[in-house]
Amino acid sequence: MFKYLLYPFSIIYYFLSELNRTLTKPKKLYKPVISVGNITWGGSGKTPMTIEVAEYILSLGKTPVILSRGYARKNQAVKNVVVRDKEKILSDISDSGDEPYMMACRVDCPVIVGADRIESAELARQFNPDVFILDDGFQHWKLQRDLDIVCINSLNPFGNGMTIPSGILREKKSALKRANLIALTNCDLVSKDTLNIIKQEVFNIKKEIPLEVSCKNYYVVNMFDNVKIEDLTLLKEQISFVVVSAIGSPDNFVNTVKNLGLKIKDKVFFSDHHKYKSKDITDILNFLDDNEKIITTAKDAVKINEVTDMDMKEKIYVLNVSLSFESGKEKFEKEIKSLLGVNNEK
């Protein structure tokens, strides 16, 4: 019932969004632009996809620069911030925002944040980029894109089919026609029948078979020493975890933890982009026995790390993930190579 009460506001939201898109004249940058985005509000796997795109471009011997808005960054005094250059991190999480900072920790390429991504691109000239990666860029009308990659969460692809605020859609599903590549994420967390239904729905809109990706390349580290735990047997047999996260789709994370065979004692979810305080973590740790620990995401970890001491860090584990292609990897690579003028024989 509540969604129908909000429906008039959804009509207004959609009208204003379409008006903005129609009236905005996009600018072409001095290098090609790859956008990674979605059509829904909440987690769809676009950050792991952005990292995957950047790492693949680096493997081709090219220099990508990630341009991000830096949503919810604490310090807005500086309009555009170089979070990372080619060698090292130059900023902190308050200036960069959680997702850009996490990407800067994961990928050895420049990351720049700022609401005006045209200005960010100008700032990037010092790095002599070969291509820009526009993080969360499918609705960023100000820039022309040469390749649009749209991520769809297989666990909740389109919500109730309504636009914000009645539903989770930023645009109508027909917007997928603008995409060059559509990637179904979290494919390993749904049944084959469910996946086939989503694939058919996407095909009916775009007339192309979407890519299928999963977050299968998991590894766990202890926040204290950040050393990869090669054998999870002891964690599985002797420890129960409280899942702690502040991300768009926490259920995705919970399902991943379960699939690893780790025992879940409880779940504590904060709102997306929550700014952790030390008390948030101590309140949880104070109720845990010796054989109970916290497990969190890499995105949460960069914020939790700022507000915890070394004793607390020993009781916190971090699950890192990266994308694994179930299908469509060749198409993904071919599109990027073609855009960058790289010989497909390489």
Over pLDDT 70: what percentage of the chain?
96
CA atoms within 13 A on the CB side of 248: 16
What is the mean pLDDT of the segment spanning 115-138? 95
In the predicted structure, residue 4 carries a pLDDT above the cut 70: no
Model pTM score: 0.86
Over pLDDT 90: what percentage of the chain?
66
User: 266 - beta bridge partners?
Assistant: 242
CA atoms within 13 A on the CB side of 227: 6
- Could you give all domains of the chain from N- to C-terminal order, each with its CATH number? 2-62+130-215+324-340 (3.40.50), 219-321 (3.40.50)
CA atoms within 13 A on the CB side of 238: 7
**With contact defined as beta carbons under 8 Å apart, do 38 and 175 qualify?**
no
Residue bearing the bigger pLDDT, 310 or 11: 310
Residue type, 105: C
Q: Cα(258)–Cα(170) distance, rounded to whole angstroms? A: 30
Whole-number pLDDT of residue 175 = 94
Kindly state the tokens that stand for 24. Answer: 């905005």
Whole-number pLDDT of residue 316 = 97
21 Cβ contact list (under 8 Å, min separation 6): 139, 141
Whole-number pLDDT of residue 12 = 83
At residue 31 the predicted structure's pLDDT band, cuts being 50, 70 and 90, is very high
Burial tier of 207 (Cβ tally within 10 Å: 0-12, 13-18, 19+): exposed
Whole-number pLDDT of residue 346 = 44
Centre a 10 Å sphere on the Cβ of residue 5 and count the other Cβ atoms it contains.
10
At residue 93 the predicted structure's pLDDT band, cuts being 50, 70 and 90, is confident
- Order of all β-strands in the sheet with 316-320: 219-222, 316-320, 292-297, 240-245, 263-269
What is the mean pLDDT of the segment spanning 154-183? 92
**With contact defined as beta carbons under 8 Å apart, do 173 and 327 qualify?**
no
Whole-number pLDDT of residue 20 = 85
Pairing of strands 64-68, 111-113: parallel
Residue type, 242: V
Q: Taking all residues of the chain, what is their mean pLDDT, rounded to a whole number?
A: 91
Whole-number pLDDT of residue 32 = 98
Whole-number pLDDT of residue 344 = 59
Q: Cα(53)–Cα(168) distance, rounded to whole angstroms? A: 25
Task: Name the residue among 324, 282, 318, 286 with its Cα closest to residue 302.
Answer: 318
At residue 22 the predicted structure's pLDDT band, cuts being 50, 70 and 90, is confident
DSSP state of 313: H
At residue 325 the predicted structure's pLDDT band, cuts being 50, 70 and 90, is very high
What is the mean pLDDT of the segment spanning 79-108? 91
Q: Which single residue is written with the structure tokens 């502040």?
A: 246
